Amino acid sequence: MNNKNELEPTKILNSYLEEKGLRKTQERYLILDEIYKKNDHFDIESLYQLIIKKQKISKATIYNTIDILIELKLIKKHSFLNKTLYEKSFQKKQHNHLICNDCDKVLEFCDPRIQNIINSIESSMNFVVAEHSLNFYGKCNDPKKCKKI
């Protein structure tokens, strides 16, 4: 785990576990690894299904590691209507989401006008925005793939 080529998120997790005196179990690194291989938004169940194919793991370990990764800002937790999804967040650009009500697909978009809105709200309301989330719900235009799984 200690070579120069290791990914930055791995280093961050590594020093956190050392600092807190937590065990550096291989499972925790595997979870981080799988998350960073993904490019989409995922729920705990699908992450569990992915990892269990490779190695025996408990859901408790996944939940527990997810909490650590959120604290380290290596992943971000989203609440989309009644679903909780996560995504990797290390060096990821601020973005917003489009969520398809029919197939649960999540698309991302960036629009600089949103920053303009934030700037003008900050000055007119005398408020400092630390974070925001903006989600649009609707239907994706992908009739072939737009099916509930």
Site residues (vs Zn ion, CB under 5 A): 87, 100, 102-103, 105, 108, 140, 146
Residue 44 or 140: the one with the smaller Cβ distance to Zn ion is: 140
Calculate Rg over the CA atoms of the chain.
18
Give min distance, CB of 140 to Zn ion, in A: 3
Q: Beta strands 96-100 and 135-138: pairing type?
A: parallel
What is the sign of the dihedral through the CA atoms of 62, 66, 69 and 74?
A: positive
CB 90 within 8 A of CB 7: no
Give min distance, CB of 88 to Zn ion, in A: 9
Residue 34 or 78: the one with the smaller Cβ distance to Zn ion is: 78
Residue 27 or 87: the one with the smaller Cβ distance to Zn ion is: 87
Geometric angle at alpha carbon 136, from 78 and 126, rounded to 5°: 75
Give min distance, CB of 83 to Zn ion, in A: 13
